[in-house]
Amino acid sequence: MYRCVATSIEGFVQQVACSYLVNGYVFYVRGIVPEGKAPETVDAKLIEKYAVDRSKWRRSVDAQNGVARMQYIRHERTFLLMATHGTHRFFDDEKGSVRDARKSPIKYAGYSISYRRGQDARYHPHVRIERSQLATLKQHFRQLALRPSTDRIARELADLPFEPYAPIRRQLLELLRAVNKVRTQQAYPKIPHTVLRFRRRIAKPFG
């Protein structure tokens, strides 16, 4: 049975970034299951329509024949249809909605997931906190930084719900520097970087 229902945000992000993008599924359509419709019904319809649940052998044959391979994943009411390079009715049926993760990041639950060329000239998944979400966090924590006590701000920094992929680790340190700049101006104790979580927890995307 084709597994497509992610049981957590972390699992959804991990599967998209570390399993699909790295295997060439860079084209995507993001959709929402309409209220009043059963998500399972939408899953079955789209999986059948685009022949998503092909066997590993069939996918290999498709790739050799220039046919795009497909993946589908959903968390709660948000879903992604993802495709590799090639020919497929997906590109015709979804024309105007298809995006390329190398140019337009996949945004979900405050995350921004893209596929970027690294310093080694190869493409890699790039998971960040989405720009507007990061700006909101900075504003929030700058206000907290005006309080003398370190307890609440340290606790909230430690409890941020973003898995620390490498780009996110850099963003968290950027956030901490902004906090400590305010606290230095107020002559308050700085928050140590040890309050941040830098080890990513590996999720089981489908439970």
Q: What is the pLDDT of residues 5-36, one digit of tens each?
A: 999 999 999 999 999 999 999 999 999 999 99
Angle CA 5–1–29, to nearest 5: 45
Residue 201: inside a domain = no
pLDDT at 58 over 90: no
Residue 169: inside a domain = yes
Using one digit for the tens of pLDDT, what is the confidence trace for 137-193?
999 999 999 999 999 999 999 999 999 999 999 999 999 999 999 999 999 999 999
Chain mean pLDDT for the chain? 96
Q: What's the domain range around 98?
A: 9-128
How far is the C-alpha of 199 from the C-alpha of 165, rounded, in Å?
8
Residue 31 and residue 114 in one domain = yes
pLDDT at 116 over 90: yes
Q: Are the beta carbons of 196 and 137 closer than 8 angstroms?
A: no
Q: Could you tell me the pTM of the whole model?
A: 0.93
Question: What pLDDT sits at residue 62?
Answer: 85
Residue 120 and residue 19 in one domain = yes
Count Cβ atoms below 10 Å from residue 59 Cβ, excluding itself. 16
Residue 20 and residue 122 in one domain = yes
The mean pLDDT value for 121-144 works out to 96
